[in-house]
Amino acid sequence: QVQLQESGPGLVKPSQTLSLTCTVSGGSISSIGYYWSWVRQLPGKGLEWIGYVYYSGSAYYSPSLKSRVAISIDTSQNQFSLRLSSVTAADTAVYYCARSASGTYGLKVDYWGQGTLVTVSS
């Protein structure tokens, strides 16, 4: 059973960089066909896709966040990470890490972390 766990600061100051790490257990982050993803949910709102990374290190981002986002992977630690720069209060959200499986009709998110609330405030 694959499990994912987010970790990182729960409070970030405006204009700084939000950094989160996701630790994967119960499976290898180097498995073929899986993309390691980040999704966020603003308070009381819907889901927003951030991006994903493959074990090779290739990363893909949502166009709306692309200029501020970097997702990286550390296969030796079975972890992947999110960095979001120049944050504002509008980036306050629950951040989920997740595993996306590739199939005939695109990706499906089959495993999720529990989510971590990140608040942007001075």
- Report the interface residues with another protein, using CB under 8 A: 46-49, 51-52, 60-64, 96, 98, 103-110, 112-115
Q: The dihedral of CA 16, 20, 35, 31: what is its sign?
A: positive
Q: Rank residues 14 and 117 by Cβ distance to another protein and give the closer one.
A: 117
Q: Rank residues 55 and 112 by Cβ distance to another protein and give the closer one.
A: 112
Kindly state the smallest distance separating residue 112's Cβ from another protein, in Å. Answer: 4
Residues 6+ apart with CB under 8 A from 91: 12, 18, 84, 118, 120
Q: Rank residues 1 and 76 by Cβ distance to another protein and give the closer one.
A: 1
Kindly state the smallest distance separating residue 14's Cβ from another protein, in Å. Answer: 26
User: Are the C-beta atoms of 96 and 111 separated by less than 8 Å?
Assistant: no
Kindly state the smallest distance separating residue 4's Cβ from another protein, in Å. Answer: 9
Report the 10 Å Cβ neighbour count for 117.
13
